[in-house]
Amino acid sequence: MDYSFVIHTPLMWIDKAETWELADKMGKLEYVRDNTLTCYNGIMGAGCGECPACKLRNHGLEKYLARRKPLHYDCD
């Protein structure tokens, strides 16, 4: 029984800032920020902030937020 299959890994080819941008475009930035686990110490959301995974995640989020265009509302 030989089966052909393909594994798609789209996030593998983009950096953390681009990953946050994708989540934001899908309207899920807050969900991903608060409900995913990256931390080596098992802390959900922002994590411990000290392990390499947390530092990489937080740096990517900061990089994305720094370049994100602010929303402008017409209050008139």
- Reported as a single tens digit per residue, the pLDDT across 19-74 is 999 999 999 999 999 999 999 999 999 999 999 999 999 999 999 999 987 765 56
Q: φ and ψ at 49, to 5 degrees?
A: 80, -5
What is the reported pLDDT for 21? Answer: 96
- In whole angstroms, what is the distance from residue 51 CA to residue 64 CA? 20
Q: Is the pLDDT of residue 5 over 80?
A: yes
- In whole angstroms, what is the distance from residue 68 CA to residue 64 CA? 6
What is the reported pLDDT for 1? Answer: 74
Task: Yes or no: say if 61 and 18 are a contact pair by the CB < 8 Å rule.
Answer: no
The number of C-alpha atoms within 13 Å of 50 and in the hemisphere containing its C-beta is 4
The full set of domain ranges for the chain reads 38-67
What is the reported pLDDT for 73? Answer: 59
Give the sign of the dihedral formed by CA 22, CA 28, CA 34, CA 35.
negative
